[in-house]
Structure 1
Amino acid sequence: MFIKWLENSSALEIRTENDRVATVDDKSKLSENKVMPDTIEVERAVKEEKTKIYLQLISSIIINLPFFTSGICVSWPAVTLSKLTPGSDLVVSEDEGGWIVSALGLGGIIGPIVAGLVLDHTGRKWLIYATSIPFIACWVLTYLAKFWVELFIARFASGISVGALCSIVPVYIGEITEPKIRGASSAMFSIMIHVGYIFGYGLGPLLDRKMFALVSLAPTALFLLTALWLPESPYYYLKKRKEKDAALTLVWLRRKKNNDNEIKQINELIKSEKQGGFKKLFTEPSHKKALLILLLVIGGQTLCGFMAISSYLDILVKKFHLNFNSDMILLLIPVISLISSILSSCFVDKFGRRVVFLSSSYGTTLCLAVIGVYFLLGQLKVKTGDLSLVPLIALVLYIIVVAFGLLSIPGIITSEIFPTNMKGWATMVANVSGSVANMIVPKCYQLAVTHLDDYIIFFIFAAIQFIIAIVATIHLPETSRKTFKEIQEILQPKNKAKRNTDRNEIK
């Protein structure tokens, strides 16, 4: 649909290297002004170098809309499970509630596997479009549910979409955007997730389970209507040897007629890549290093306890013994977190991925430790009445710093550090690992809250995050404003990188 519309547009024209002729007007101007043709070509090339980014940004916003629904799914337990008590139309026990929360992570294991297997066959756009089906099934089942198992299945279905999206969307954005805005575009998913939190925490307490499920279909409907007009990735087209379609896509995305240099660079990158495969992730040194870096940043995202804390946020806030309305606090926290996500999208290209991730990781460690100390003082029978605001402030700061870097950076890194022939496999492995963690951590958190003191849980989270921060300080490279080729050179073993540098110097 997109390509046919673009081909029929009279406002756009593609000029390839084999298809360049001067117009009659150009020739007459040359003869009148006696200007050399080479000069005209240079001036024309300079004018065409400038690209416009607004359609790239609009496309990034639309393709990240499914994360709006993902945010609603993550926030759903915090605003709904507490209502499913004796007297409601559906009663869920504490243990059953723990399984319902973990179901999203379980589905998240399946999503990346499916995405990795079919990503290069179906294309990026249509695979992302298809993730709407499990989301719709989730809310329909939630509306019709009469037993807790149906809610488990609903959450499992939504987890499939969330897991697949985490694998595909970063790849798509990395392939349609220019390096100068790639970080900001990739960070938009964090903004959408927090808009979903605000939606969930704001409307969840006001609506019953069934009405909330119906209202939650709205973001998916909006995505289905708008995503039809998005282009497929030019990388995907060129891998399938559809150069005309790739050229049309770049004309639309860059808003300039001549994109021959970029097409040439993409083709060279594709040709230089060896045949991809699952085993290459663990045998090719650069791929293995990239995978370890990706697993590191995903570990920072999942093992900081964000999924568990978000799912049980209502219960946690009540333990602070505050005189505030807990529903208002639940709504205020994601609003502040949304602001943090927006700031992250502004800073991630200016200051770099490394700085943003490390500041977020160390800040998260500190916030978790402060909450742990508060619960420890309570366990030691120290009067904490005057300190009730301290853990709340630490919790707000925790969500802010997590949103600032830990949530956004893994998606950006995913889109940057793998060549196109390895992205599907790499994101599958990384996101399956992340989904396993997102399944285990909330369930372990629910069991730990029942059998352990709260301070132990938060100290464990803080210790894990501190270790990840130290490792990242040593090994996390900076990829901001670098082309895919430059990033691959960074990931090469030092001896191989040195040989390539010496070879280039000789040339």
Structure 2
Amino acid sequence: MDVGASLTWTSPALPYLTSENSTIPLSNAQGALLAASSSISGIIALLMCPLIMDQIGRKYTILVLGFIQLLSKICIYVAHNYTFLFILRLLVGVGTTGMIAFLALYIGEIAAENIRGRFLILNKICVNLGSFLMAIAGAFLPYNPMNIVAITIPLIAMLLFPIMEETPYYYLMKGQEKEATETLTKLSGEKSVEIVTANIERMKSAILEGQNSKKSSFRELFSDRSSRRALIIKMIKKFLATVVHP
């Protein structure tokens, strides 16, 4: 929901910020750049998060992203100049893009196969709910109360998310099979030791296959014709979404 609210924030905020009543007067060009800033900085998150998620875990990576979101929203509430606001929106881009990419990974690693799709769909529904909530807040509330609503969403998430479990995949990557087994048993509610053990072995095989293919995956992004085309299409799509419809 915080991702959706963050992506929609500029729609209700820019009419105020570019108006005569704004405490941070912006030109139309500055407003457009402010709207596009989060898409630009999202590249940083996509480069940064893979480096830290295997070091500190999926759960704590999401908590770091959530803290970035919460801190940036609080600072936006007290921001009084364009430069500071622009930097904060860059931080928001890091948090939202990282969350879009790696919350889905987290869900995929903790959810059983028969319900994984439902959680991923619910994830997308929550993004839309967050967008709707921010649009409603912007329509009926002044600028500062609207920002308080924006702060509330990541605050609730940060208070609740620590009760979540780390993923069994991460524990297995670190050689902590006992913790992985305990976590998988708790997440699945499965009481059969044989079934849990079989799932653990399947995860270990998947991790081993991933490690064997990791060395060539980045090179194949450019050398493989289909992957290269997909990369070009994705870059064009992102460019158009940023420039044409900031």
State if a TM-score over 0.5 links the two structures: yes
Deviations 1:378-414 (A, max 9, x none): xxxxxxxxxxxxxxxxxxxxxxxxxxxxxxxxxxxxx
What corresponds to 1:248 in structure 2?
Answer: 182
What corresponds to 1:69 in structure 2?
Answer: 2
Mapped pair 1:260 → 2:197: yes
- After TM superposition, give the deviation of residue 140 of structure 1 in Å: 2.1
Distance in 2, Cα, partners of 1:290 & 1:232: 34
Contact 1:281 1:291 in 2 (8 A): no
The amino acid that maps onto 1:172 is Y
- After TM superposition, give the deviation of residue 442 of structure 1 in Å: 3.4
- After TM superposition, give the deviation of residue 238 of structure 1 in Å: 0.9
- The alignment partner of 1:216 has SS state of helix
The amino acid that maps onto 2:205 is E
- Give 5+ residue unaligned stretches, structure 2: none
Judge which range, 183-192 or 254-263, deviates more.
183-192
- Give 5+ residue unaligned stretches, structure 1: 1-67, 304-436, 447-507
Mapped pair 1:80 → 2:13: yes
- The alignment partner of 1:146 has SS state of coil
Distance of aligned partners of 1:188 and 1:99 in 2 relative to their CA distance in 1, 3 Å threshold: same
Mapped pair 1:108 → 2:45: no
Question: Percent identity, aligned pairs only?
Answer: 23
The amino acid that maps onto 2:4 is G
Deviations 1:292-351 (A, max 9, x none): 69758x839x83xxxxxxxxxxxxxxxxxxxxxxxxxxxxxxxxxxxxxxxxxxxxxxxx
The residue correspondences of 1:456-471 to structure 2 (distance < 5 A) are none
RMSD: 2.7
What corresponds to 2:109 in structure 1?
Answer: 175
TM-score (norm 2): 0.87
Distance in 1, Cα, partners of 2:142 & 2:93: 22
Distance in 1, Cα, partners of 2:23 & 2:220: 54
Mapped pair 1:444 → 2:229: no
- The alignment partner of 1:92 has SS state of coil
Report the structure, 1 or 2, having the larger helix content: 2
Contact 1:145 1:151 in 2 (8 A): yes
Mapped pair 1:238 → 2:238: no
Judge which range, 206-215 or 224-233, deviates more.
206-215
Aligned counterpart in structure 2 of residue 91 of structure 1, from 25, 37, 50: 25
Distance in 2, Cα, partners of 1:112 & 1:188: 22
Judge which range, 84-93 or 196-205, deviates more.
84-93
Contact 2:67 2:158 in 1 (8 A): no
Larger gyration radius, structure 1 or structure 2: 1
The residue correspondences of 1:198-217 to structure 2 (distance < 5 A) are 198-217=132-151
TM-score (norm 1): 0.44
- The alignment partner of 2:244 has SS state of helix
Distance of aligned partners of 1:177 and 1:295 in 2 relative to their CA distance in 1, 3 Å threshold: farther
- After TM superposition, give the deviation of residue 284 of structure 1 in Å: 8.8
- The alignment partner of 1:87 has SS state of coil
Distance in 2, Cα, partners of 1:73 & 1:123: 24
Distance in 1, Cα, partners of 2:226 & 2:178: 32
Mapped pair 1:120 → 2:29: no
The residue correspondences of 1:141-180 to structure 2 (distance < 5 A) are 141-180=75-114
Count of aligned pairs = 242
Deviations 1:74-124 (A, max 9, x none): 111111111121133221111000100011112211111110111211110
